[in-house]
Amino acid sequence: MKRFNCAADFACFASLKRLSLKRALADSVHFETDSGLPLIVTSPTPGVFRLQFAPAEESLDSLIVQQEAEPMTVESFSEGFLLKTFFTELRLSTKPLQIALTHRMRLRLSSVLAEAASKSSLPTVGFHPSSRSWAVSFALKDEPVYGLGQASAGLNRKGQQIDGDLPFCWSPQGWGVMVLAAPGTVRHYVMEDGISSDHYLLHAQTKGLDLFLFAGTPAEMINAFTNLTGKPNVPPIWSLGSWIGQAPEANSHQILSCAHSLRAQGISADVIAADSASPLSMETRMSFESQADYFAESKKMLTKLQEMQWHFSATEHAFIRANFAAFEEMAAKGWLLKNAQGKAASVAFEGDFFGVVDFTHPEAFNFWKERHEPFFKEGVDAFNTAVTLPEALDLQAYDGSRGARLNCLWSLLFNRAVFEATQKFHGEGIDKRALVVGKGRFWGSQSYPLQYSGQTISKWEHLTAAVYTAQSLGATAQPSYPILIGDSTSQQVEDTEFYARAVAASVFFSHLGFTNVGENGFLAYEPEIQTIVKKWLKFRYRLIPYVLGALEEASRNGLPVVRSMALAFPEDKFAHTQELQYLFGPTLLVAPIVEPGGKRQVYFPKGERWYDLATGVKYEGGTLYEFEKPLDGAPVFGREGYILCLGPEAQSTYEINTIRPITEAWLFGLPAVDPCVTAVKIKVMQMQGNAYIKGLEGTKILAAGGYEVSRRGAEVKIVKKR
């Protein structure tokens, strides 16, 4: 899209000035603006207003999963209209058109004032007919802005121009903005000096503008965002164990040798993840291949992996080799994407040509789903769909989609087809839930775990980037993010201090994995490093009931497992500046060591007390401390009033009792909040300075902060030590 580098570039956008009410319904209000452009305002979920300016050329309305609107009223005043829902109000003023969003009687977001807009040449809400573009500007104070997709070098978007994969952002001040548009068609200028240091301007290169305004806390806005675009599905418990990546050229003997070696070493791990860098390796089965097809005895290999209690993840591509008979068969049925001439497109890739499955065709979608069953029967547990539609190609789909809209829909439907196929075969249950390993950033991608960046972690700067990335994706409602430790070009990361710190950090991500482990596994490292790796992976498996509980919460409220300080503590402005520490689930504050030496500053958010997991020492909120942790240590702290539920040490999730997965509970001060945990219902009640807990029968309890535990039947009483 065209790049605008200064405010004067937007002088050609004429601000809308007129607004006339056409009709007001119980759940929508219809206006007419300049030149007869329509504006429809609805409230699709509490705390959100949707403003649809002019009809979109290629509607993405099907991506909004919640279509029912909240009731609202409209009142007119001398300069415009006031639209009201239960807690949120939208004020639309004219000459020029200006927007003001109020929530719980407090102004959250407003347009640039008319006088300021005139001086800066910025439109308040402007349309440019010849370029079919929209520009909307908002006045901001000195406040941080988060979201807009992946960021690997800082979370606050202030001062940046961003072409976000997901055009959704928010501020701890209580406002959020989303544009429903295909990736690559919206640019955000967030208090960027070339435009204006105190304005947020969005430029949408779309015929119509579909603008969503959010109000509430960051957690409420992410919940609303996932109400609209889809709640996350919960992954299976085995996916929370360690993943062991295999080189693309690995054969069955090498994979089995690696799997056996890791079991013999006592390494806690669950998944063998096979990879393929290119679809050219696909020789049979219509170019729809699991990695198992590389092995002459694939079924035998998968059976042996199951006997050793491993799960297997394979790679697939949705390309059909052009010289296969299946290409002609699918082309005749209209199941492949078409070129500009209306014929099945043949896409060049690394010296060969492929057709691309058209997932917008219902029959092609269902056919592709059904093709997975033989692979599941062989022993494949999940598929990696880490392939996107080739860019810069004029492809057209069965439903008429093309360009940016097709790129968005194709990734969504590809992941949906594989997810539904997995769900159909494996069914439900804590250890059977469907999983798709994807690499896309598309509308609704949070619904299909597990999306990842593809980055591997082999240097200190990579670890820093991973901490930023996990939080930035969480800010756009991605509930999970895997960290992958290893060097993609060698068998071993040689910096052992880094390796030990990276393994410790990986335990506190939603998912973790290792690349290029090789047949020797972790035996290539000196005994001290092997011991540290085993220690942290054992603790990771103890954390699985807690991590899975956090992912189950995400399926209800959209909150990610890794939560930035701005998301978790919006009222603590100093906490927002601490971008390399985060809340892991609701209970644990994590500050990964991201540079040599073992030292780390940690800020404890206001209004809370925190307990060092290693020492039990309590720290007051609103304070900043420097810690120096040994090579096998990490700065991790429990939140006062919360309970951390832990499972047993295990070498695989097969050893975890999925009905009663917890064996121990750590109490940080006097419990006040029901714990985050899977499968077990635990209730906490406070009365007369004591706490009473139900659901911890048979569980070992450790209390910190000067409290002691007494039991009577199924009830646990927590009292202050005398």
Is the pLDDT at 293 greater than 60? The verdict is no
pLDDT at 320 over 80: yes
Q: Is the pLDDT of residue 75 over 70?
A: yes
Can you tell me which residue has the tokens 């078409």? 338
Distance separating alpha carbons of residues 82 and 664, to the nearest angstrom: 54
24 has a pLDDT exceeding 80: yes
Q: How confident is the model at residue 287 (pLDDT cuts 50, 70, 90)?
A: very low
**Range of 188-202, 366-380, 394-408, 647-661 with top mean pLDDT:** 647-661
Q: Domains (ranges, CATH) in the chain?
A: 7-229 (2.60.40.1760), 562-720 (2.60.40.1180)
Max mean pLDDT among 1-10, 61-70, 99-108 falls in 99-108
Q: Which two tokens mark 403?
A: 């360009």
pLDDT of residue 13: 86
For residue 253, name the pLDDT band (cuts at 50, 70, 90): confident
What local confidence, expressed as pLDDT, does residue 99 receive? 97
Q: Which residues contact 514 (CB under 8 A, 6 or more apart)?
A: 242, 243, 244, 245, 484, 485, 486
Q: How many CA atoms lie within 13 A of 589 on its CB side?
A: 28
Average pLDDT of span 542-560: 98
Residue 593: CB atoms within 10 A of its CB come to 26
According to DSSP, the β-strands at 311-315 and 271-273 are parallel
For residue 201, the one-letter residue type is L
Output the pLDDT for position 280.
Answer: 31
Give the DSSP letter of residue 336. B
For the residues 37-59, what does the mean pLDDT come to?
90
For the residues 151-170, what does the mean pLDDT come to? 89
**pLDDT average, residue stretch 222-246:** 96
| Confidence (pLDDT) at 281 | 38
Confidence (pLDDT) at 712: 87
Inform me whether the pLDDT recorded for 285 exceeds 60. no
| Separation between Cα atoms, residue 75 and residue 83, nearest integer Å | 6
pLDDT category of residue 4 using cuts at 50, 70 and 90: low
Residue 533 pLDDT: 96
Helix (H) or strand (E) holding 530: helix 527-557
- For position 3, what pLDDT does the model report? 57
Cα first-last separation, the chain: 69
Q: Which of 329-338, 399-408, 502-511, 589-598 has the lowest mean pLDDT?
A: 399-408
What span, in angstroms and rounded, lies between the C-alpha atoms of 234 and 562? Answer: 15
- What is the pLDDT confidence band of residue 289, given thresholds at 50, 70 and 90? very low
Query: Which structure tokens are listed for 505?
Result: 């950090």
Range 411-422 average pLDDT:
94
**pLDDT at position 279 over 80:** no
User: What pLDDT, on the 0 to 100 scale, is given for residue 332?
Assistant: 97
pLDDT digits (tens, 9 = 90+) for 639-686: 999 999 999 999 999 999 999 999 999 999 999 999 999 999 999 999
Is residue 286's pLDDT more than 90?
A: no
323: pLDDT confidence band, cut at 50, 70 and 90?
A: confident
Question: Using CA atoms, how far apart are residues 369 and 356, in angstroms rounded to an integer?
Answer: 15
Q: How confident is the model at residue 394 (pLDDT cuts 50, 70, 90)?
A: confident
Contacts 24+ apart (CB under 8 A), 365-369: 365/413, 365/417, 367/335, 368/288, 368/318, 368/417, 368/418, 368/421, 369/417, 369/418, 369/420, 369/421, 369/424
Long-range contacts, 396-400 (Cβ 8 Å, 24+):
396/337, 396/338, 396/339, 396/340, 396/342, 397/337, 397/338, 397/358, 397/360, 397/361, 398/334, 398/358, 398/360, 398/361, 398/364, 399/360, 399/361, 400/58
The yes-or-no verdict on residue 216 having pLDDT over 80 is yes
Give the HSE-up count for residue 484: Cα atoms under 13 Å, Cβ half-sphere.
Answer: 17
DSSP codes, 78-112: TTEEEEE-SSEEEEEETTTTEEEEEETTEEEEEEP
| Cβ-contact 415, 232 below 8 angstroms | no
Q: Given a cut of 70, is residue 344 above it in pLDDT?
A: yes
- The pair of structure tokens assigned to 208 is 């119509």
**Each residue of 597-649: pLDDT tens digit?**
999 999 999 999 999 999 999 999 999 999 999 999 999 999 999 999 999 99
Whether pTM exceeds 0.85: yes
The CA R_g of the chain, rounded to the nearest whole Å, is 27
Residue 218 amino acid letter = P
**Residues 685, 715: contact at Cβ < 8 Å?**
no
Amino acid at 670: L
What is the pLDDT at residue 291?
43
Please write the tens of the pLDDT for every residue from 477-510: 999 999 999 886 666 788 999 999 999 999 999 9
